[in-house]
């Protein structure tokens, strides 16, 4: 399985000859999905005031699964995966990435969380270079360095006050990169509904396990968002439930469009449009929640987006038999 994952780091490999791509549709789907996610991801800070990460994912999965079944009943796709092992692998990878990402949303401004998550294109390249021993040309080396500088500008880690939580979204970015690779390379012919359903099932199971652990063995933690990751069962969900519902409905629509975008478009092309969330998310956080973003962080976001665009451009130009340039 590890060998298969490493081979998957080249999204053009194993593509079926003549597979149709629809770039305009893919771009519209991805930008629309990012606009929705940029808004609804901000509500995590509100629900984190009262419930924990694990209860959030379990309750969201419970609300989303009937919606996903409804999509299947409407004829939008089968719930049964064709290659279960790869669908489960993808689900585990993306669920792990999202656990890290959502944990970071409660602990830092969304601009910082998104900057860490969008290290994923750089991780794809590093897997290609270190795992597959592919030769990486100057364009991609420069893009990785540019993106790394951008990450530092946004996260602004203080070596005198090291906080491991700063790097939570970066870990999420690593697992997200692997999930995107697997989606296109091994799951491109899967039903979008099947992928979404399995993803929610795995996240729900992870939420249930975490909830049992932190309820049975409660960890002493602060109130509010600071205790989001270690909080056990909260019986009174009245304050958080509306925000969980917003997340459930919005995520069902947005993630469906994301998966579909990667299935109908080239990953190197589609991935560039994901960076639009770095506009939608911080903008909504500023307007609705009063979160501010500094000039250095805006500059860093620009560097990360530029690095991702360069990586996508070079991936699109490279033929499968060529070296990675």
% of residues, the chain, pLDDT over 70: 85
Residue 16 domain flag: no
Residue 7 domain flag: no
Q: Reduced to 3 DSSP states, what percent helix, strand and coil does the chain have, rounded to the nearest 5?
A: 70, 0, 25
- What is the pLDDT at residue 244? 94
- What is the pLDDT at residue 120? 79
Query: Residues 251-285, buried b or exposed e (16+ Cβ, 10 A)?
Result: bbbbbbbbbbbbbbbbbbbbbbbbbbbbbbbbbbb
Q: Is 66 exposed, middle or buried (0-12, 13-18, 19+ CB in 10 A)?
A: exposed
Nearest Cα residue to 19 out of 258, 263, 195: 263
Question: What is the span of the domain harbouring residue 112?
Answer: 22-317
> What's the distance, CA 152 to chain centroid?
20
Residue 12 domain flag: no
Residue 174 domain flag: yes
| 298 three-class SS | helix
Residue 323 domain flag: no
pLDDT tens digits, 94-150? 999 999 999 999 888 888 898 888 887 778 777 766 765 666 778 777 887 888 888
pTM of the entire predicted model: 0.79
- What is the pLDDT at residue 162? 63
Domain count, the chain: 1
Report the C-alpha gap between 55 and 267 in whole angstroms: 33
pLDDT tens digits, 215-251? 999 877 777 888 899 999 999 999 999 999 999 999 8
Does the pLDDT of residue 4 top 50, yes or no?
A: no
């Amino acid at each position: 399985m590890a060998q298969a994952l490493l081979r998957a780091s080249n999204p053009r490999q194993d593509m079926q000859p003549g597979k149709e791509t629809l770039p305009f549709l893919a771009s519209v789907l991805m930008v629309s999905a990012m606009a929705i996610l940029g808004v609804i991801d901000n509500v995590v800070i509100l629900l984190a005031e009262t419930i924990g990460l694990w209860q959030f994912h379990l309750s969201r999965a419970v609300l989303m699964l009937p919606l996903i079944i409804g999509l299947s009943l409407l004829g939008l796709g089968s719930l049964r995966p064709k290659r279960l092992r790869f669908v489960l692998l993808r689900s585990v990878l993306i669920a792990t990435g999202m656990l890290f990402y959502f944990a970071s949303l409660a602990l830092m401004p969304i601009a910082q969380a998104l900057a860490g998550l969008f290290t994923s294109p750089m991780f794809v390249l590093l897997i290609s270079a270190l795992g597959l021993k592919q030769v990486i040309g100057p364009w991609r080396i420069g893009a990785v360095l540019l993106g790394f500088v951008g990450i530092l500008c946004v996260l602004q880690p203080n070596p005198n006050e090291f906080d491991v939580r700063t790097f939570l979204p970066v870990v999420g970015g690593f697992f997200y990169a692997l999930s995107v690779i697997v989606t296109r390379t091994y799951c491109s012919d899967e039903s979008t509904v099947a992928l979404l359903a399995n993803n929610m099932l795995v996240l729900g199971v992870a939420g249930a396990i975490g909830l049992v652990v932190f309820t049975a063995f409660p960890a002493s933690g602060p109130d509010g968002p600071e205790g989001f990751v270690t909080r056990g069962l909260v019986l009174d969900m009245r304050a958080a439930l509306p925000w969980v519902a917003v997340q459930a409905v919005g995520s069902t629509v947005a993630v469906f469009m994301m998966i579909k975008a990667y299935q109908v478009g080239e990953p190197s092309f589609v991935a560039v449009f994901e960076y639009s969330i770095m506009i939608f998310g911080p903008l909504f956080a500023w307007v609705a929640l009063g979160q501010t973003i500094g000039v250095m962080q805006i500059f860093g976001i620009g560097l990360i987006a530029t690095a991702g665009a360069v990586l996508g451009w070079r991936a699109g130009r490279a033929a499968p038999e060529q070296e990675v340039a």
